[in-house]
Chain A
Amino acid sequence: MTDPLDRWADDLAGDLAEDLDPGAVDAIASQAASIAASAAASAGAAGAAAGATAAGATTAGVSAAAKIVTAVAAALAIGVGAFAATGNLPDPIQSFVADVVELVGVDLPRPGEDLPVDLPGVELPGADLPGEPSAPGGGTVSDVTVPDVTVPGATVPDAPVDPGLDG
């Protein structure tokens, strides 16, 4: 038994597809060519303009970016320097800044240096801070990890041991 699809496919294609009128082909081709040529010209012009704009934007962008970076760096240096000089930075940062500038011979106060660290029995900040630390917004900072702070030159005496507690 032959498959009717074979004949059907030929019939369907032959009936539906039909050569276009030559005049119609020429008319469509003429319009399409005109549109494509116009689009190509526009794309070329747009590409050239975009290239010029991009080049200018790149130069301007780099220049603006460089200015911004320089300004921010200067502001940070001034701000950090002022706070660092007075020892008002947060302890970890104060310590870090002091370590860094020490390399170039600048001596900045380090966290806890204003405390009588050589006095026996005195505990350094960080051991027992008075009161509950708080975070902005009222939350606690118990979950905040603070880097260990080293205090070069500070002598932390052993805690006095009450002999009575041993016995």
Chain B
Amino acid sequence: MIGVEEHMAEVDHHERIERARSGDERAWAEIVERLGPRILGYARGKGIADADDVVQDVFLAAARRIGDFEGTWSNFRSWIFSIAYRQIVDRYRRSGREDASLPRVLVDDLDPGPADEVVDREAASDAVRALDVLSGDERDVVLLRVVAGLETAEVAEAVGKRPGTVRVVQSRALDKVRAELRRRGYGELR
């Protein structure tokens, strides 16, 4: 049973989706602001060089098909990330790349930023490098859970798998990441 605040939030989300469906620019801006950074992170984590373009393509594809969408905000998030998932799969297919390739470009291109953030940046680079131990499917699940912030059921909906399968993949993936982090002594320098 959901609380009043959650119910009101769901009403707001529903109203926002309806406005977006009718072509309200402000509604789309709110959606892009909320979900855009997560799509960007997901695409970067998958090693997509033109991650910004993925973000744009996802929302434009969603705009074309939002008339057919029905569901809650949770369903909407899953739907948006299912579009992102397919966009990325298509990019891999067109480029002929292996899905599990590490996003080296991202890691190498990280701006160092202010001096006091250098150590954090290095640690963050290690965090991205830890994805290297994961298969393509495992990376999808981990990124959608950790970076996109989706629940297990939402991840399942986004990638077209059963929730039980997603839980198994997630558990296996996190075990591999944990072992890799311990092997590297991750976080011990901080």
- Do A and B actually bind? yes
Interface string of A4-20 (1 = CB under 8 A from B): 11011101111111111
Query: How many chain-B residues does the 8 Å CB contact rule pick out?
Result: 55
Determine the distance from Cα of A19 to Cα of B125 in the docked complex, in whole angstroms: 18
Number of A-B contacts (CB under 8 A): 139
Let me know if B146 and A12 touch, CB within 8 A.
yes
- Give the CA-CA distance A132 to B33 in the complex, in Å: 86
List the A side residues contacting B67 at CB < 8 Å: 36, 39-40, 43
B56-74: CB near A (< 8 Å → 1, else 0) gives 1001101111110000000
A30 at the binding interface (Cβ < 8 Å):
yes
Q: A144 within 8 Å of B by Cβ?
A: no
In the complex, residue of chain A having the shortest beta-carbon distance to the beta carbon of B103: A16
Task: Label chain B's interface by main secondary structure.
Answer: helix
| B121 partner residues in chain A, CB cutoff 8 A | 15
Residues of chain A contacted by B56 (CB below 8 angstroms):
24, 27-28, 31
In the complex, the answer to whether B147 meets A33 with C-beta atoms within 8 Å is no
A161 to B38, CA, bound (A): 101
Q: Is the CB of B37 within 8 A of A31?
A: no
In the bound assembly, the distance between CA atoms of A7 and B62 in angstroms comes to 33
Q: Considering the complex, give the chain A residue whose CB is closest to the CB of B27.
A: A33
User: Which residues of the other chain, B, contact A9 by a CB distance below 8 angstroms?
Assistant: 146
Quick one: which of A32-47 are within 8 Å of B by CB? 32-40, 43
Q: How far is the CB of B124 from chain A (nearest CB, A)?
A: 4
Say which residue of B20, B38, B127 sits within 8 Å of A15 (CB atoms). B127
Q: Which residues of B contact A101 (CB under 8 A)?
A: none
Chain B 105-116 near chain A by CB (<8 Å), digits 1 or 0: 010001000000
Is the Cβ of B40 less than 8 Å from the Cβ of A17?
yes
**Closest Cβ neighbor of A7 among chain B residues:** B187
**Smallest Cβ distance from A24 to chain B, in angstroms?**
7
A4 to chain B: which residues have CB within 8 Å?
178, 181-182, 186-187
Least Cβ–Cβ distance between B5 and chain A, in angstroms: 24
How far, in whole Å, are A26 and B103 apart by their CA atoms in the complex? 28
CB pair B33–A40 under 8 Å, yes or no, is no
**A74 on interface, CB distance cutoff 8 Å:** no
Residues of chain B contacted by A32 (CB below 8 angstroms): 20, 28, 32, 59-60, 62-63
17 inter-chain pairs at a CB distance below 8 angstroms, sorted by A residue, are A11-B126, A12-B45, A12-B128, A15-B121, A16-B147, A18-B40, A20-B36, A20-B37, A24-B55, A24-B56, A28-B32, A31-B59, A36-B20, A36-B22, A36-B63, A36-B67, A40-B67
- Contacts A4-B187, A24-B55, A36-B63 aside, 5 further interface pairs with beta carbons under 8 A come to A5-B177, A13-B41, A16-B44, A16-B45, A29-B29
Seen from chain A, the residues whose Cβ lies within 8 Å of a Cβ on chain B are: 3-5, 7-9, 11-20, 24-40, 43
